[in-house]
Amino acid sequence: MLNGIIRFSLTQRLFMLITGLILAGAGSYAWLGIPLDAFPDISPTQVKIILKAPGMTAEEIESQVTVPVETELLGIPKQAILRSTTKYAITAITLDFNEGTDIYWARQQVSDRLAAVKDKLPANIEGGIAPMSTPLSEIFMFSLENPSMSLLERRQLLQWQIRPLLRTVPGVADVNILGGYAKTLQITPNPVAMAQAGISQDQLIARINANNVNTGAGRITLGTDNFTVRTEGRVGSIDALRNMVIISNANGTYRLQDLAEVEIGHLARYGAVTRNGSETTEALIVALKDSNTADVVKAVKQKLAQIEPTLPPGSKLNVFYDRANLISTAIGTISEALVEAVVLVIVLLALFLGNIRAALVVSLALPLAALSTFVLMRYFHLSANLMSLGGLVIAIGMLVDSSVVVVENMVNQLAGGQRLPRLHLIYRATKDVATPVVSGTVIVIIVFSPLLTLSGLEGKMFSPVAITIVFAMLSALLLALTIIPVVASYLVNEKAVEEPKFVHWLKHHYLQSLEWVLHHGKRFVTIAGVLLVMSFGLFALVGKTFMPTLDEGDIILQLAKSPSISLQSSLDLDTQIENHLLQTVPEIRQLVARTGADELGLDPMGLNETDVFLQLKPVAEWRFDTKEQLIEAIRAEVVKFPGIDFNFTQPIQMRVSEMLTGSIGDVAIKIFGDDLAALNRLAGQISDITSSTTGAQDVKMAMTEGSPFINLKLKDGLASRYGMDATAFGSYLKSQLEGVMVTEVIQGKKRTPVLIAHPNDNITSLVQLQQQVVQLPDATLKPLSELADISYQQGPIRIDREQGNRFAVVTTNVSGRDIVSFVEELKGKLASQLTLPSGFSLSFGGEFENQQRATNNLLLVVPVAIMLINLILFTTFGTISKALLILANVPFAMMGGIISLFLSGEYLSVPASVGFIALLGVAVLNGVVMVSYYEQSRHMFATLEERVKQGAARRLRPIMMTATTAMFGLIPLAFATGPGAEIQRPLAIVVIGGLITSTITTLYLLPLLYEVLEKRK
């Protein structure tokens, strides 16, 4: 089949050239259409349910909302894990599905189940399935600034003018509005007037609802026409609401304004936004899962440009987060590396081939393979991101290998002086190397195949790398057998066979040194062996981490204050820190801080929690060289504000951390059980045992035990005498504190909730609560202390659940020892020292889990890959000894990788492991090039020594070409800076280091061992 393809290509040269041009065009077109993002989507198929229960404690929500919903959801097939977090007034339930589950199917399943259980939930529950988003979905954020508008007006503008327009942008899942005040029409009943009119609060609500309605009455026929008849009752303004007649009796007609204050108010605030120390309002664009982020951001910006001139005078949309910046920087970093790699590879080819025409022909494989890869990426819906494009950069050096082999053989054939047609010679040259070229490519594909078996976070990150490499290698192979011979037939001439002086010089010195090695074999093997052993010793000294932290360019400073803090006090402290940072850290352009929960509840933070978004000036204006130094400077300022915990993170990193709930830290020990007190006690014991285990560092314990709350228990015997039951009492109190939604006033597209509520600072002490006058169902009045017992009680501030069970978690990092042995020791200690009550259980997770999963995957798949490579080598060379000889190169390649990691100070991480896997392929390929020539030239040299020396010298150029192109192709990545570079750098460093050692061993150790092997025959 291979011969047929080559023959067809060379007989249909014009067709192939046109095909090449079409391919280039298709690739360019595909590139323009590929979804662009900074990172691959690392989220599983996930459906999130956000349910709000205003005024309810965490424990109440858990029992009345979370548990019924979870019970219903647990029956859904294909689910991987069900988690929930319940806090004051909100519960977030997250259902992760198995890999590959269709998100729309998953959402439909959850929606059906939720609908089935919704009737069983308390009446005032709001919310449902959250927008279809991922941790990468928060793509654009801006604040609305206008000094002449109040926070309420600004929020109205965002909510009702800007948000609906932005939601029309394709790819926008939702627009989260934060900060300011959500406008309401607030009805504050006057209990005295109500009592005088003889109307209770429930009757008032019923009357408002009954009046605020338009109904369709039907139609009447008037002559030849039909007229629709409706009744009008709906109010459209606050004045109309005030004038609504509530009751009319012998005493007179009572309008709403006679019985209550009707004012413009706002919903109870669960969060706020500040900018540079002043309160403001913010909009956050949430992109749909699988949308093209770059396109969505672009469309959002276009829409905002249309909206801004229509806003009230003085309004300014202040953008402080734009994912497009990160995308362009990250893609720019990688694209720059790609271009530099291409240039370096072309220069190297020109240098080694010594012929610009041949170099150009080989180099042609690079852009064409890249463009073909883009076509395949688009076809398979693979987005262009740091990882997928990184894969292309990694492959650059290997992409030319097939073409190098083909073209080099071609020029050798052409120089042979055989009296055959030129095209026939080219055909023969291509055909001769087709099988080894295909074998080489298959070996590389097999080498990278283990990456496709990675699951979890590492799988999501590195699958695109492997897929892109496979796409690129297959494209390069096809090009090497089709278009490259055709172009070579036009461009390559006999002059190309002349060896450049540089290569000649290289070969001369190589032969001299090889001769020394062959004569001092034992010494060389001993030195190599010692270095190998030493390098494995170095392995223990290399730092280890799961995944390097990606630099997103931005900084988020997270603050956590006293858990029971009020919103205003929280904002006061935030403002102090914000103003201080603005004054002392000139690198900060602006600060936008979010305190508490957001509108959609995608991130249900407490009032004590603040995420301060630091928008930085360009690096050129910094006092520091690195972001780490800047963070250190910020840290030095933040510590001056004691009593507030802080943490540094980044926008995407923060969301990813939230996605991996409960697994922050190397090891997370989860204790499952129902009794909160027992959970906390066990968590304390486990924390102590963990701390006493060698290697434990930063041991933290999260408990579900909570803060005090005020409990009102109805004196039911007394209260029932007045017709007051618990529901009515709760509802009445809610109207005094949180507010009860009665109806809505619709003005055009604006819908304003109408609330029975009281001013925010209505009750600010327990004493006031006790003295509060309650209007009873019969409209009479009574002090609250007469109706209910009031006491302080303790309750959970937050309840975390997994698979329907409550849990507490202890996390720890591990330092100075292997995590697996640490976990084994800890398990043993817990088994002997901890007594778990009936119904309680433990589970181990955390990054350890990810590492172990990745290690287990690789430990299973890498040996299989090596066996397959061995099989291919055995098939190629016919003996197992030759195959093993080539594989002997692998440890020395690893040695270089380890040494380079140690010298560079990089950590051993998943990307570094991927680098070691890549090394496997390159090291084997180099060995194949060398050994295959020895086997081919078996009858060309008189003696074995001559064959070994001359063979090695003749393979010096291709080996150096493949090694240096792979190496120099990665140099731009090794030295790249900017967002995204840090994840590719360890990989590049490992491959470069490994290539140096493996090339040395291929050039010296392999001939030596081959000679020994042949002599034994």
The Cα 428–Cα 410 span in angstroms is 8
Among 609, 666, 738, 802, binds other proteins (CB under 8 A): 609
- The DSSP 8-state label assigned to residue 38 in this structure reads S
Closer Cβ to other proteins, 493 or 558, answer by number: 558
Q: Dihedrals φ, ψ of 836, to 5°?
A: -85, 125
Closer Cβ to other proteins, 328 or 780, answer by number: 780
Position 681 contacts other proteins (CB under 8 A): no
539 within 8 A of 898, measured Cβ to Cβ: yes
Question: Helix (H, G, I), strand (E, B), or coil: what is residue 803?
Answer: coil
Position 700 contacts other proteins (CB under 8 A): yes
Closer Cβ to other proteins, 634 or 869, answer by number: 634
The Cα 215–Cα 233 span in angstroms is 8
Position 797 contacts other proteins (CB under 8 A): yes
Among 290, 432, 705, 1014, binds other proteins (CB under 8 A): 705
Residue 241 CB, shortest distance to other proteins, in Å, is: 22
Among 21, 22, 767, 831, binds other proteins (CB under 8 A): 767
Residue 562 CB, shortest distance to other proteins, in Å, is: 5
Among 275, 798, 955, 957, binds other proteins (CB under 8 A): 798
Among 57, 385, 811, 812, binds other proteins (CB under 8 A): 811
b (16+ CB within 10 A) / e for 284-322: bbbbbbebbbbbbbebbbebbeebeeebeeebebeebbb
- The DSSP 8-state label assigned to residue 131 in this structure reads P
Position 191 contacts other proteins (CB under 8 A): yes
Closer Cβ to other proteins, 657 or 870, answer by number: 657
Residue 779 CB, shortest distance to other proteins, in Å, is: 12
Position 572 contacts other proteins (CB under 8 A): yes
Closer Cβ to other proteins, 204 or 974, answer by number: 204
The Cα 851–Cα 857 span in angstroms is 10
Q: Which of residues 50-109 bind other proteins (CB under 8 A)?
A: none
Among 794, 821, 841, 875, binds other proteins (CB under 8 A): 794
Tokens read off for 584: 């002392």
Residue 644 CB, shortest distance to other proteins, in Å, is: 6
Tokens read off for 573: 């402290």
Closer Cβ to other proteins, 261 or 825, answer by number: 261
Residues 6+ apart with CB under 8 A from 744: 212, 751, 752, 753, 754
Residue 779 CB neighbours (<10 A): 18
Total binding residues toward other proteins, as defined by CB under 8 A: 74
Q: Which of residues 636-675 bind other proteins (CB under 8 A)?
A: 639-648, 654, 657-658, 661-662, 664
The Cα 856–Cα 950 span in angstroms is 44
The amino acid sitting at 913 is: S
The amino acid sitting at 880 is: I
Residue 520 CB, shortest distance to other proteins, in Å, is: 56
Q: Which of residues 256-295 bind other proteins (CB under 8 A)?
A: none
Residue 802 CB, shortest distance to other proteins, in Å, is: 13
The Cα 477–Cα 435 span in angstroms is 11
Closer Cβ to other proteins, 570 or 857, answer by number: 570
The Cα 886–Cα 1010 span in angstroms is 10
Among 21, 115, 192, 880, binds other proteins (CB under 8 A): 192
Residue 170 CB neighbours (<10 A): 10
Residue 106 CB, shortest distance to other proteins, in Å, is: 23
User: Taking Cα atoms as reference points, which of 462, 252, 237 lies closest to residue 913?
Assistant: 462
Among 63, 111, 569, 852, binds other proteins (CB under 8 A): 569
Residue 243 CB, shortest distance to other proteins, in Å, is: 21
Residues 6+ apart with CB under 8 A from 34: 374, 377, 378, 382, 383, 384
Q: Which stretch binds other proteins (CB under 8 A): 25-33, 252-260, 309-317, 761-769?
A: 761-769
The amino acid sitting at 597 is: A
The Cα 959–Cα 722 span in angstroms is 96
The amino acid sitting at 408 is: E
Could you tell me the CA-to-CA distances from 374 to 23, 29, 293, 460, 966 in Å, in that order? 10, 9, 17, 19, 21
Tokens read off for 466: 């492997």
Tokens read off for 59: 């424990």
Position 702 contacts other proteins (CB under 8 A): yes
Closer Cβ to other proteins, 28 or 764, answer by number: 764
Residue 129 CB, shortest distance to other proteins, in Å, is: 22
Among 576, 691, 747, 977, binds other proteins (CB under 8 A): 576
550 within 8 A of 982, measured Cβ to Cβ: yes
Give the angle 576-582-583 at the CA atoms, nearest 5°: 90
Position 596 contacts other proteins (CB under 8 A): no
Closer Cβ to other proteins, 783 or 863, answer by number: 783
Among 13, 301, 580, 954, binds other proteins (CB under 8 A): 580
Among 12, 124, 190, 760, binds other proteins (CB under 8 A): 190
Could you tell me the CA-to-CA distances from 287 to 552, 562, 751 in Å, in that order? 18, 33, 25
User: Taking Cα atoms as reference points, which of 198, 81, 194, 171 lies closest to residue 663?
Assistant: 81
Position 451 contacts other proteins (CB under 8 A): no
Question: How many Å separate Cα 777 from the centre of its chain?
Answer: 54
Position 780 contacts other proteins (CB under 8 A): yes
Closer Cβ to other proteins, 453 or 562, answer by number: 562
Residue 103 CB, shortest distance to other proteins, in Å, is: 24
User: Taking Cα atoms as reference points, which of 613, 137, 555, 554 lies closest to residue 330?
Assistant: 554
- As beta bridge partners, residue 809 has 670, 702
Position 766 contacts other proteins (CB under 8 A): yes
The total number of residues written for the chain in this structure: 1017
356 within 8 A of 490, measured Cβ to Cβ: no
Among 57, 84, 413, 680, binds other proteins (CB under 8 A): 680
Position 790 contacts other proteins (CB under 8 A): no
Among 196, 412, 453, 493, binds other proteins (CB under 8 A): 196
Closer Cβ to other proteins, 101 or 680, answer by number: 680
Among 35, 40, 54, 606, binds other proteins (CB under 8 A): 606
Among 111, 161, 564, 870, binds other proteins (CB under 8 A): 564
Closer Cβ to other proteins, 227 or 792, answer by number: 792
User: Taking Cα atoms as reference points, which of 901, 906, 893 lies closest to residue 1002?
Assistant: 893
Position 561 contacts other proteins (CB under 8 A): yes
Closer Cβ to other proteins, 274 or 984, answer by number: 274
Q: Dihedrals φ, ψ of 384, to 5°?
A: -85, 115
Closer Cβ to other proteins, 639 or 831, answer by number: 639
Site track 722-741 with other proteins (rule: CB under 8 A), x = hit: --------------------
Q: Which stretch binds other proteins (CB under 8 A): 240-248, 407-415, 425-433, 603-611?
A: 603-611
Closer Cβ to other proteins, 499 or 658, answer by number: 658
Site track 148-187 with other proteins (rule: CB under 8 A), x = hit: ----------------------------------------
The Cα 903–Cα 992 span in angstroms is 12
Within 772-846, residue ranges assigned H as helices are 784-787, 819-833
- As beta bridge partners, residue 127 has 51
In the numeric block, the tokens 């304390």 are attached to: 684
Among 635, 713, 750, 751, binds other proteins (CB under 8 A): 635
The Cα 325–Cα 970 span in angstroms is 25
